[in-house]
Structure 1
Amino acid sequence: MEEPPSKVAKASEKLHDVNTDLSATKLETQFGIECYISEFSEVGCHNTEAVDGILKHRYSDFIVNEVDASDNVVRLTSLKLPDSEEPKCEADEGSLIFNGEQLKLLTETNSGKSDGDKHEWVKVLPLPEGKNDRKAIHRLIASKYLKLISKSFEGFIHVMYSPTKKDERGQKQSNWAGQGKGSYCSFVLYKEGLSSMEALDVICRKLHKPHKAFSFAGTKDKRALTYQNVTAFKIDAPTLARVNDICTNVKVGNFKYTNERLGLGASSGNMFKLLLRNIDATKIPVLRNRLHNVEEKGFINYFGLQRFGSMNCSNPQIGLSILKNEWRNVARLILFSETSSLKTMSWYKDLKTSFSTETEFDITKAMIFETPHGIEKKFLSGLKKFGSTTDQNIIDAFYFLARNNRLLYLHAYQACIWNMVVSQRLQKFGLKLVIGDLVCGDSGIDDSIIEITRKNIHEYKFEDCVIPVVGSESKLPPNMSEFIVKMLENDGLEQASFNHKIKEYKLKGDYRKVVCQPKNFSFNFVNYDKPDEDVQKSAVDFLMEKEQFSDCHQKSFDQNYDNDTDICPENGTNEMEISEDSLIAKNGSESTSKLVDSCINRNCEDKNKYSGLSLSFKLPSSAYATMLVREITHSNTSQQFQKAQSDKYSGQSGIRNEEESQFNIQSEAMKEEIVDFADDVEMG
């Protein structure tokens, strides 16, 4: 069935109008987020009434734990260094102490005042028999005498004066603590109020390390408390642990050495613990029906608004301009958006005029220095080096942005197209497989994408249905191909446009399931007395208390910290503290939400001032928790709407603004540190 051109054009025009009305009450529709699973349900949840609840009022209302490739939930349980970080000696300690003559020799050599050639080996003491003894001596010399390198040969330990730590062959000597264990130090990163890139930026600046040394499986939400695995190339645990004494909203721990570098998609998903505040208690029956519907049928697997940019929402437009090789427009969208950090600069209008007239503008070091740290600052640095008069100048300057940031724009455009196609598919055919759909076979890889025909339609379920994230090699579903082709044509593209002439921006495409089914799903309605009450307490809060307490308090700590719920046990709330594991153990049920639901009436009998909804669930990688919440509340999930609700809830001087101000001050302080490094980190 051919889609009317006017309807196709209307859908495509949304992309071009994305930045025109940031105050729109339904920002989701501009990115193709239009449908709900409940609209197509046969029974039950046809009520489309919006039930507003405040999401992310506090950072602790949104807790995210990465789930690794082995299906283990990533948690920060220890800030201690590995036991093997400082090797114990096989011999008595007395055998490792230098005598007076040896100490004098080491001191003189380290100062460069010893007799003879400064760049020749000096014999210090005979080699100990134990390997750990020798290793400990080398470590001791490296830590105490910063201008010496040491080496074992000819039956003795020798040292050489070398401020650059290079030996006689000009090779830099490494005192890598993970020698023999691996080239990477793996650790758990906890962050609060920062994106994954911002948290790594903090670590790099404080430790003076390059971004390219760090790698992780995927990005985590900014306005949240998150835990994820990170690997650092040849940066040891003691160095990384210094972050814990410097930063209040970034902590690292659970150190271990490994040969495996984390790469894109190295996780299997994320575990979420969310709190929706200020729920209307009279709407609980409506929410209960929707909660059970989500548990049974899942939710539409839309790309959430985070994919398109938190405020200026121009990421898809930038991605479209890259695909069309309109590089001057790429620069305009980045530098001159409505929320650009450059708008307050005295030279902003002159810079903008130079782009309109295609003339060169002299960007000075002072301009870059006064620009707040961010995308605009990095792009300006590139334009200063290469200029802005030609497309090639802008292409070269664009490389000053981290690779993941550059690819983010392209992925945002793909996500916007995917959302629009899915909404159109559901409006045409509903929640049933039809001839011309695509499904993912048993192997779950691209090669197993199967077209639905009359012969095989009964072999698959709608849960297997996928829509392509369009790329140059994507197989288009026959029943939606004309719609997709016309959308691309309206944007001045064709499918071959994704095979970009610049190798890094080539997009082969992927496939994404239409419906996402959450796992380990449970919910609970809670009551609390104060609008800013910290209902969910993070594991880090308990961990810091544990580090400060003496051993005599350990039993109390273990009793108070429920690792499954993260519900604060001492905040005076009346919620039922039920963990998933305890429910299964006591009741033998694989589904926890129905059991938790049975506790709702008891909770709501207490006449507290506020009601909230606590959710716990696991989602696969690239699925958005905000889209699950949207399915439950039928309410706006945009950052602007949620912030307005939050301000109204607790006043303009509420906790949300206090938390943001606290970390904005820290961020401004970090901007004063000028550190040059390569932004080559990859993330999903």
Structure 2
Amino acid sequence: METDFGLTEYASAHTITPVPCLLKEMYSDFIVQEILADGTVLHIPSPDVILESTGTKKKEIEIDATVEKPSCISEETLAALDERFSAKGDQVLVKVENLTKDERKSIHQFIRERYSGKLITETKDDGIYVSNGHTQTTRKRKNWDENIPKECHFTMCKENKETTFACQLIAKFLNVGPNNIKTHGIKDKRGVTAQRVSVTQVLESTVLDLNSKLRGIRVFGCEYKHEPVKTGAHWGNRFSIVLRELANDSEPLLHERLETFQNTGFVNYFGTQRFGSRSSTTAEIGLAIVKREWERAVKMIMSNAMPGHLEYGLVGHAARCFNQTGDAKKAFGKLRGAQAFATIEGHILKCLSRGGTWQKCITEAIPVQSRSLYVHAYQSLLWNKVASRRVKEIGTRVHESDVGADGTPLGEHATHYDIHIPLPGENEAFANTYGAKWISEILEEDGLTQASFTSLQDKFSLGESSRSLFVEAKDLKWKFIHYSQPRTLLQDGLQTRAVPESEQKGPLLALQIQFSLVSGSYATVALREVTGSDMGKKSMRNASLKSQEEESDKVKEEVKEEEEESAESEERQEEEVAASSE
């Protein structure tokens, strides 16, 4: 499958003998810790740690009678406000006829301070309306302390959750729009990951209280800042990965390859997870978007959600309903809870059910981080193909035609890690390089040009303009582990504990490998350089199923042998009884 996406070459050799293994057999086999720009590696809390404010009750808010009442508020109005503070009900109208701007302002301030923000004010033509909690028109307006920076940054750890889904779930609980949640980038779903997240105008205590509501997600380490988290602004990621079911005689070969890997690095391909594993790849959807084929793009996304791809969940049934009937409103009605507001399919069906166009589904309804992934995937596919051509023709040595990150020729002391290839799109600095030329040739086959990406900048975050051809895995460590059962836990997860080292023994062999990669590089591609195997999701899933079938066959064989031994034992007992009775 990886060859379909341009992953054909290796930094160490043109061909490499595969070493079969299993990746991500358990969620805790794949741990990702974001590394911030200052080098800080985010930690993942122990399963035993209880995070701050988890499940705590909110402090009771009381009326602050010390706040001085403006003379323009009558005692009757004050009594009505106190009553509204105690219980929800109809809005209280504070008349402001003939009042100055400063007097009206003093009313807002008094209500905010006396009732600690619990009562919400809204100015209308006939006065100031006061309610207990937000109304439909005041929900998006917030009073924020000017002395506190508006962005609340926090660490989000998740297990077996897509980053986009987790962020949209958090947005829903915080009652903010999904675009108010910012991250440095997407982290793997099947694994345990830690990353920084920011949200606008939400208090630390409100964020921490999410720990009592979320499952498979933990939040902590809040800090107020003036700027939100920005895509790609981190240094990279620290990986701790377990490869299972290695052949017992593979240890010497893998040890040798790891030493080579430490010196040569690997081809910096975009991994197969970039392209998905469903009937329409994200690159194919991205191509449709770049060609402005909006309807086709939407229908490919919805077809990917059909039963068979999402194990017949409600999203799959909703997608099937839409594809069969074309009735978006009816299909949207089949979704429940997070499936309606935290899935791409839910966003599309909601948009269409409200009369939105095919284009609006792509360019507005789907959150920017999600919709950008499709265009990125198409760019990534082209980059992979160009990278493979360069490595196949020249190898790892620096050639006179190679350029660096700024598009200028490399100096005499440059290494293969300094070589850069542009991504598709208009880029003056790389206009005369072999990379730009080869990309243009592929684009022409698809009926496009480099300029086809330019007008997408407003609605899509297209990111980097070039990418290094080779990457070094830093702070590389590895060790081999013996274990007894196929699903023995070998690393701590978000909610699970690994077996103690003293119990790591048995006939099965695994490799634990740890390394740090710069932002945008793929751990599965790095592992490919070591194992020589396709480390993509589809390939690993097939290998896992094969392993389970073999294990099942082994168990069946053992049961059969036990039954045969039991039958033989019974026959012997019957013979002994018969002999003793003669």
Specify the alignment match of 1:611 in structure 2.
Answer: 509
Specify the alignment match of 2:33 in structure 1.
Answer: 65
Structure 2 length-normalised TM: 0.76
Specify the alignment match of 2:51 in structure 1.
Answer: 79
What's the secondary structure of 1:162's corresponding residue?
Answer: strand
Specify the alignment match of 2:116 in structure 1.
Answer: 142
CA gap of 1:514–1:277, structure 2 versus 1, over 3 A, is same
Specify the alignment match of 1:461 in structure 2.
Answer: 415
Specify the alignment match of 2:24 in structure 1.
Answer: 56
Q: What is the CA-CA distance between 1:71 and the residue it aligns to?
A: 1.1
Specify the alignment match of 2:500 in structure 1.
Answer: 570
Percent of paired sites with the same residue: 27
CA gap of 1:66–1:230, structure 2 versus 1, over 3 A, is same
Find the partner of 1:221 among 188, 193, 198: 188
Mapped partners of 2:332, 2:194: distance in 1? 33
CA gap of 1:81–1:653, structure 2 versus 1, over 3 A, is farther
Specify the alignment match of 2:230 in structure 1.
Answer: 263
Q: What is the CA-CA distance between 1:630 and the residue it aligns to?
A: 0.8
- 1:579-594 aligned at under 5 Å gives the runs none
Answering whether residue 191 of structure 2 is matched by residue 293 of structure 1, we say: no
Q: What is the CA-CA distance between 1:541 and the residue it aligns to?
A: 4.7
Contact 1:204-1:211 within 8 A present in 2 as well: yes
Mapped partners of 1:309, 1:346: distance in 2? 20
Q: What is the CA-CA distance between 1:432 and the residue it aligns to?
A: 1.0
Answering whether residue 485 of structure 2 is matched by residue 536 of structure 1, we say: no
Answering whether residue 408 of structure 2 is matched by residue 450 of structure 1, we say: yes
What's the secondary structure of 1:500's corresponding residue?
Answer: helix
Q: What is the CA-CA distance between 1:501 and the residue it aligns to?
A: 6.6
Answering whether residue 389 of structure 2 is matched by residue 382 of structure 1, we say: no
Structure 1 length-normalised TM: 0.65
Mapped partners of 1:286, 1:532: distance in 2? 24
Specify the alignment match of 2:159 in structure 1.
Answer: 192
Specify the alignment match of 2:101 in structure 1.
Answer: none
Contact 2:383-2:439 within 8 A present in 1 as well: no
CA gap of 1:306–1:244, structure 2 versus 1, over 3 A, is same
Q: What is the CA-CA distance between 1:620 and the residue it aligns to?
A: 0.6
Deviations 1:532-553 (A, max 9, x none): 1111013x459xxxxxxxxxxx
Deviations 1:195-244 (A, max 9, x none): 11111122233343321332111111100111111111111122222221
Contact 1:647-1:653 within 8 A present in 2 as well: no
Aligned residues between the structures: 498
What's the secondary structure of 1:623's corresponding residue?
Answer: coil
Mapped partners of 2:212, 2:8: distance in 1? 46
Give, as a single letter, the amino acid of the residue that structure 1 aligns with 2:21: G
CA gap of 1:33–1:172, structure 2 versus 1, over 3 A, is closer
Mapped partners of 1:630, 1:109: distance in 2? 67
What's the secondary structure of 1:38's corresponding residue?
Answer: coil
What's the secondary structure of 2:417's corresponding residue?
Answer: helix
Find the partner of 2:6 among 29, 32, 48: 32
Specify the alignment match of 1:366 in structure 2.
Answer: 330
CA gap of 1:396–1:277, structure 2 versus 1, over 3 A, is same
Answering whether residue 221 of structure 2 is matched by residue 254 of structure 1, we say: yes
Contact 2:302-2:323 within 8 A present in 1 as well: no
Give, as a single letter, the amino acid of the residue that structure 1 aligns with 2:273: Q
CA gap of 1:481–1:112, structure 2 versus 1, over 3 A, is closer
Find the partner of 1:111 among 61, 83, 91: 83
Mapped partners of 2:474, 2:179: distance in 1? 34
Specify the alignment match of 1:497 in structure 2.
Answer: 452
Find the partner of 2:524 among 626, 632, 635: 626
- 1:230-629 aligned at under 5 Å gives the runs 230-337=197-304, 339=309, 342=316, 347-348=321-322, 350-351=324-325, 361=326, 363=327, 365-371=329-335, 373=340, 374-386=343-355, 393-398=357-362, 399-440=364-405, 448-452=406-410, 456=411, 458-473=412-427, 475-476=430-431, 478-500=433-455, 503-505=458-460, 510-538=465-493, 540-541=494-495, 568=498, 570=500, 572-574=502-504, 608-629=506-527
Which runs of 5 or more structure 2 residues have no equivalent in the other structure? 67-75, 87-91, 97-108, 122-127, 553-582
Contact 1:527-1:612 within 8 A present in 2 as well: yes
Which runs of 5 or more structure 1 residues have no equivalent in the other structure? 1-26, 41-45, 88-95, 99-103, 122-134, 150-159, 352-360, 388-392, 441-447, 543-566, 575-606, 655-684
Deviations 1:541-581 (A, max 9, x none): 59xxxxxxxxxxxxxxxxxxxxxxxx94636433xxxxxxx
Specify the alignment match of 2:173 in structure 1.
Answer: 206
CA gap of 1:113–1:260, structure 2 versus 1, over 3 A, is closer
Q: What is the CA-CA distance between 1:486 and the residue it aligns to?
A: 2.0
CA gap of 1:175–1:140, structure 2 versus 1, over 3 A, is farther
Give, as a single letter, the amino acid of the residue that structure 2 aligns with 1:39: A
